[in-house]
Amino acid sequence: MRQFAGLVLILGVVLVSACSPPPPVDVSSPIAGWPVYGGDAGGTRHSPLTQITPDNVGRLEKIWEYHTGDYPGARPEAGKTSFQATPILDEDKLYFCSGLSRAFAIDAESGEEVWVYDSEPNLDEAWNRTCRGLALWKGEQDGGVCNRTLYMGTIDGAMVALDADTGKPCSEFGKAEGQSGRVSLLRGIGETRPGELYMTSPPVVVNDVVVQGSLVGDHRRIDSPGGVIRAYDVRSGELRWAFDPVPESAPSPATLGAPKDQWYHRGTPNAWSIFSVDHERNLIFVPFGGAGPDFVGGHRRRFGFDLDFYANAVVALDATNGKVVWRFQTVHHDLWDYDIASQPILIDLEKDGQRIPALAQTTKMGHLFLLNRETGKPIYPVEERAVPGSDLLDEYTSPTQPFPTFPQPLHPAGVKADEAWGFTFYDKGECRKLIEGLDNKGIFTPPSLRGALHYPGVAGGSNWGSLAFDADRQIAVLPQNRVVSVNRLIRREQYAGMARQDLRGLGLSLNEGTPYLLSSEVLLSPLGVPCIKPPWGVLMAVDLRSGKKLWEIPFGTTRDMVPGLSALPFGLNFGLPHGGGPITTASGVVFIGASLDNYLRAYDVSSGDELWRARLPAGGQATPMTYRLTEQGRQFVVIAAGGHANMRTKLGDSLVAFALPDG
């Protein structure tokens, strides 16, 4: 009887607990915004907010959903777009852009529309229909117009300036060029082809200049438009300075016979990803990609100087004049399309009881370089290690490549034939044959006529989603793609006389001006699945005090049946490639969408335990943001859910906000 009474008592306690109201939302927690794309000027993607905690994050619910109208609707003739924007917050408004170069202002509490601006880009000039964010300048203008100015790069090669209050173009911006509210990024570049130069990443504002790079199309020609970095006056749009990424000893374009409308060298590396700013030190940190074409480089010294000098390097520029303060190269003579795709992250790194002003740079190779951001010198040793050489007479390779020793590389470097994987003995065996038939000498195997296996591949390691850094815990959180690429060079004469469009129809990159065409593909089995053992995408945390991984988990399920992986069983947590990045909060929560399934997830930053997930209306291949506006207000987490056209996830046009239940 006593035992029965005890069971009744326990059951009563459980029922009372289940019926008890949840603890009240903490309104004494901090208030904070998200003023720039990466959360702060250094791109740490960390928020001091603590209202949402590991204990209550499971109660998050959708509060509002805003539709841009881009897909489908705004420009039906545009076809597929990608919605990868991270909004910025100023006062009580969210500002963001869409893949059709449209800018938006909405109320941050309600999600109600305030204004929309359409730059009406020429879609014939647009190949990659993406806009990841805006930049904001706050100052004083004559007449009080555009005292808060938004800057947006467009997919047809322009930068527009908009009044943040009204969404109308700032008429004085670009006036010297004979334009109203915009400047052309094609000015001084020389000859361009449709869709060859445009912006996907937001510019940065430093003092009274707005600074931008550009994306230049890959694999096209040796004389592609140059990757010049330019600074424009925030009010007038007049050019203040330009950094042409060639050695100081390089002869001018005019000396090399360039036409009058070409002011900058061609074929130079471009910086298409996100810049960081150290306002205290007046420095801009620029992540450069490789000199083109990406997989062929025998031509890069043809003018007597090295086009690779600033390629694949983090470059610190003086914000006042654009002069180089330092550079650090992550890859020498890149033949693998190992662009620096991630934003340089500015952190205070703890070492030997001291805090060092540092820069953390992740790469596609799975390397994480920790540099002194004042000097560019590695904080921990970086070793130059011997790597394979090319057997092509018209190519050269660097004999060594830099490898960080702290932390150790975060991505496997190469895959052997006996590591081939498949669902069945058949596809495993076929994958083994494929690997055995390729040049495969580990990371930095040069492209070849036989075909070279590259692991990490072009989409491997960390991409534009970058890492998030929790300064108090000294933890870096980052996703890693594990994708094997096969790159095969083809002698041009094999297809002599074939038109450009027909070569592209065969899936070949043109590499005009070189002896080779290029075939590039992901290494897949006959069943259409990767030839390596899953996970094919992971999320990890690294302790930057010790250099050790705290945790690593498969990241992403097959729930949404990604095309190309259609043979996978439904809903398995195999870990999939991603497009986007994480954010962290002071309460110890990591938020990330990014993976190829349609979820926003929350993890514990210390353990990697999944705490919560919510379905999104479309692919969440974007980086979220978070904010809390008032003392009595809620903390919101917002993410763009519009999919990624090139990754073939579900497309849409939603911006979705989550928060704890009101009251």
Render the burial of 609-639: b for 16+ CB within 10 Å, e for the rest: eebbebebbbbbbbbbbbbbbeeebbbbbbb
Which among 47, 36, 41, 37 is positioned nearest to 636, based on CA atoms?
47
The number of angstroms, rounded, from the C-alpha of 314 to the middle of its chain's C-alpha atoms is: 15
Looking at the domain assignment, is residue 138 inside a domain?
no
Looking at the domain assignment, is residue 201 inside a domain?
no
304, HSE (Cβ side, Cα atoms, 13 Å)? 8
Element (H, E) at 63: strand 61-67
Looking at the domain assignment, is residue 498 inside a domain?
no
Looking at the domain assignment, is residue 324 inside a domain?
no
| CATH code, 662 | 2.40.128.630
pLDDT, residue 103, reads 98
Total domains present in the chain: 1
pLDDT, residue 501, reads 86
pTM score, two decimals? Answer: 0.94
pLDDT, residue 20, reads 56
pLDDT < 70 positions in the chain: 1-21, 23, 74, 76-79, 125-127, 561-570, 663
pLDDT, residue 292, reads 86
Alpha-carbon span 272 to 277, nearest angstrom = 16
The number of angstroms, rounded, from the C-alpha of 23 to the middle of its chain's C-alpha atoms is: 38
Structural domain including 564 reads: 38-86+408-461+464-484+523-663
Looking at the domain assignment, is residue 47 inside a domain?
yes
DSSP class per residue in 458-503:
TT-B--TT--EEETTTTEEEEEEE---EEEEEEEGGGGTT--HHHH
Looking at the domain assignment, is residue 556 inside a domain?
yes
pLDDT, residue 126, reads 65
pLDDT, residue 99, reads 92
Give bridge partners of residue 518 from the DSSP assignment: 489, 509
Element (H, E) at 504: helix 500-505
Q: At 378, list the tokens.
A: 């590695």
Residues in the chain: 663
Render the burial of 558-594: b for 16+ CB within 10 Å, e for the rest: bbbebeebebbeeeebbbbbbbbbbbbbbbbbbbbbb
pLDDT, residue 568, reads 52
Q: At 189, list the tokens.
A: 């570049």
Looking at the domain assignment, is residue 49 inside a domain?
yes
pLDDT, residue 194, reads 87
pLDDT, residue 566, reads 47
Looking at the domain assignment, is residue 278 inside a domain?
no
- Helices (DSSP H) in 351-464: which residue ranges? 425-436
Q: Catalytic residue positions? A: 337
pLDDT, residue 29, reads 81
